[in-house]
Chains A and B, each alone.
Chain A
Amino acid sequence: MAVSNDTSELNVGTGAAQAVSGAKLSALFAGTMGPLIGLVLLCLALALTTDTFLTVRNILNVLDQVTVLGIMAIGMTLVILIGGIDLSVGSVLALASMVMGYVAYPDYLNLGVPAGIAAALVVAALCGLVSGLLVTVTKLPPFIATLAMMSVARGLANMITDGSQIVGFPAWFTNMSIVRHFGFLSVTVGLMIVLAIVFAIFLNYRATGRSLYAIGGSAEVARLSGIPVKSLTNWVYAICGLLAGLAGIVLAARLDSVQPSSGVGYELDTIAAVVIGGASLSGGIGSIGGTAIGVAIIGVLRNGLNLLGVSPFVQQVVIGVVIALAVATDTWRRRRQ
């Protein structure tokens, strides 16, 4: 089959090196000039108006704060690229973290944190796969399929402990988000960066990644060209679910607790980050580089407004305005071309 990648995954290292050296790295950020300029201006403004923004400590804080959003946004980028949407990521995050707590915590199954993480990732991927199957087999619009999953996953998350939270994990687990190796890099931030790089390479240089762009551009053209549209769609939703689950584990490490009510509204933040990064909700346009910028804009904006002492309510207003502005300038720029 045209896009199979059977044994080649074994050679990721060498192949990736060749591929990246074959093209300019700037290709990863192609078409994201607008958001990038916005991010730079935002940073400049904050550097001038506060004396704390442009400190190493604060920048590291921002990185820590965006890990959950960043990991989810990678999965959402894939979904939006193929012309879909996933509203369930916030609920799947909560469900995955509850599964982890339930499996790991001494009062419940007491199987240890690694088993809990594994179970959480499996459940999260399955949630995504079910959404994908609802889209490809039952032919539900992605909006409806994932809206249903959003409700189901939230309900399941609450059912596990009847709505109560689970507090207290081993130190090595919470340290993953606290201890900064080499003086700057926590495990969770490192994980986010590695995932972003892996998926950026996947989207740019893997046949399967390029196929996602084709599906988003026109699913029928892709299908008639021999691309297995349905199975790739299932995979994309499963990976989006998996990454939402991973984000749930990261959140658990950051908070040293899991609660069924976590992640409410995260799907909207995630979609916002992807869209601010230049992705088109109709599919076919977008990149991990753009999404990284989108995530950074939201992270820097929240951080900066906090530093300036702006109330969280006003922050919501500002972020809403930024979303509208970002997409409006993008639309305007495309029309002019």
Chain B
Amino acid sequence: MSTEPRQSESPHNGLFVNGLSKSYGPVQVLADASFEVRPGEVVALLGENGAGKSTVSNIIAGSTKPDAGIIIWRGEPYSPANPAAAIEAGVGMIHQELKLLPDLSVAENVYVGRLPMRGGRIDRATMNAKASAQLKRLGLDVSPERKVRTLRVAAQQQVEIAKALALNAELLILDEPTAALGGEETELLFKQIRKLKAEGMSFIYISHRLDEIAQIADRVVVMRDGRIVARHERADIPVRTVVEQMVGRSVERMFPKLSPPGDKTVLEVENLSSPERSFNNVSFSVRSGEILGIAGLIGAGRTELVRAIAGADPISSGSVRVAGQPISLSGPAAAIEAGVVLVPEDRKEQGVVLEQTIGENLAIGNFDHVAPRGWVFPKAVQRFAEAGISRLGVKGRPNQAVGKLSGGNQQKVIIAKWVSRPPKVFILDEPTRGIDVGARAAIYDVIADLARSGMAVVVVSSDLEEVLGLSHRVLVLSRGRQRGILDRDEASNVAVMELATS
């Protein structure tokens, strides 16, 4: 671990964060945080949700004011009044949710707020040429006149980076930049970061994906409960060590022991294709008690495939059988009736109604249980919610708004919504996306229990380690085609990636 920055012997021209604190009412979200970022260096900021990473970043990027502490940037005290002042000082932040104007062109987005003018009109030629230059610097081949809406998420993110470059940023804060990126896109981003680093730019890199840190970061700062708990001078530290520092206890095992699957085939998918060709001729089966992982890069068609099986999206051909019976894929209601349930990819948009209570969220989709003859009895909903809460170990009460729960507990609410039916086929799409490392293990236990109780379980995940650790078999998709199904003992990191990139 490094020395405290305030005792640093060789002051440099980078960023010194010294003793930052911030409270909201009685809740201290940041306590005496100190670290430094040297010029041309990538510092990874790690921690669970609520550890204080965002607060630190927002203070540096000018959108939050600290209660105490000072920041030195390029040798001078730095306390930006707002994001505009931070940008003026060369500090930019790329948020996880991109903040672009989708109906404006790439160039307009890069120069919005300071569009080059000539004779009272926007000088489009200059603007496009300048934007083009910034895009080239990133090695990006996109027309500056293209509408941002038409770009893929990865390209949109790079437009944000180009925007920061055009603003002469010298320190960029990247908040979960790879959350929505596939393998190749992540590689491209890393290449760009290395290039900009060589030009002297500094980065604060926030991520949940620990495997990335060793690849891209120079140093690591670990936060927990608003405090900095560890500083590593190197980035190639064991994942286990970092996780233990993040959660503050030793993590004995990440993945539960899997029980052997039964013999009965529960789910049979035959030659399934989507109308948009997002997946083609996919066939597989899952036995009772078995967990099938589905791996692949972003855009491989994993989410589209499982949504179709759950009746959420239409198919063009193929069939799905559950326990030998062909099921109708006319809509989610038919699939649920047939015993196929889905925990969708986007928890907040598709999984829960955030403003409603746990009880109400559990009742949705279970009115046939909690509403005899269609009458919803508040007490029945309450009892149903209490049962679900205790079965899944949700930290919450039936009348609590789901939006107030942590990601992990929200996910448990969605799972609890379905377990009591009980379903025959349980599909989980990205079950731990955006969920703290410490809380993931609990979700893994729940998934293993679902299988143990005899359901056929399908898990889609972008986190390769998760797919490998949790599945009896792994189906690999690439560009909508089924590249193979690997057994647990032959499914390795390399084997899956080979198929996924084929």
Contacts and interface: CB of A to CB of B under 8 A. Distances in A.
- A and B are partners in one complex rather than unrelated chains: yes
B366 A205 contact: no
Contacts of B356: 213-214, 217, 284
Nearest to A8: B373
A210 B363 contact: yes
A1 interface: yes
A228 B342 CA distance: 16
A2 B353 contact: no
B333 interface: yes
Contacts of B373: 5, 7-8, 11, 15
Contacts of B368: 1-2
Given A2-B366, A218-B353, A206 B378 contact: no
B375 A2 contact: no
B379 interface: yes
Interface in B362-388: 363-368, 371, 373-379
Contact of B375 (A7, A8, A222): A8
Contacts of B351: 221, 224
Nearest to A228: B333
B96 to A, nearest CB: 21
A301 B354 CA distance: 36
Contacts of A285: 355
Contact of B349 (A5, A8, A208, A220): A220
Q: Chain A interface: which size bin?
A: 35 or more
Nearest to B417: A225
Given A2-B368, A224-B312, A226-B332, A217 B355 contact: yes
A8 B373 CA distance: 5
A206 B374 contact: yes
B20 interface: no
Contacts of B331: 223, 226, 228
Contact of A2 (B336, B342, B378): B336
Contacts of B366: 2
B329 to A, nearest CB: 13
Nearest to B307: A224
B333 A207 contact: no
A16 B374 CA distance: 11
A16 B344 CA distance: 35
B353 A284 contact: yes
Nearest to B353: A217
Q: Chain B interface: which size bin?
A: 20 to 34
Contacts of A225: 332, 336, 364-365, 417
A183 interface: no
B360 interface: yes
A287 to B, nearest CB: 14
B7 interface: no
A4 interface: yes
Contacts of A204: 376
Contacts of A213: 356, 360
Contact of B360 (A8, A16, A210): A210
A204 B337 CA distance: 25
B239 to A, nearest CB: 34
Contact of A220 (B310, B333, B350, B376): B350
A270 interface: no
Interface in A130-171: none
Interface string A1-34: 1111101110100011011001100010000000
B367 A210 contact: yes
A18 B360 contact: no
A226 B333 contact: yes
Contact of A205 (B332, B336, B375): B375
A221 B352 contact: yes
A285 B355 CA distance: 9
A189 interface: no
A211 interface: yes
Nearest to A16: B375
B360 A218 contact: no
A205 B377 contact: yes
A22 B379 contact: yes
Interface string A223-256: 1111110000000000000000000000000000
A221 B360 CA distance: 12
Contacts of A223: 312, 331-332
Contacts of B352: 218, 221
Interface string A196-212: 00000000111111110
A216 B338 CA distance: 26
Of B331, B364, B417, the most chain A CB neighbours within 10 A belong to B364
Given A8-B373, A213-B360, 13 more contacts: A1-B368, A2-B333, A19-B376, A206-B374, A207-B374, A210-B364, A210-B367, A213-B356, A218-B349, A218-B352, A220-B349, A227-B333, A284-B353
8 contacts: A3-B367, A15-B375, A214-B360, A214-B364, A220-B350, A221-B364, A228-B331, A284-B356
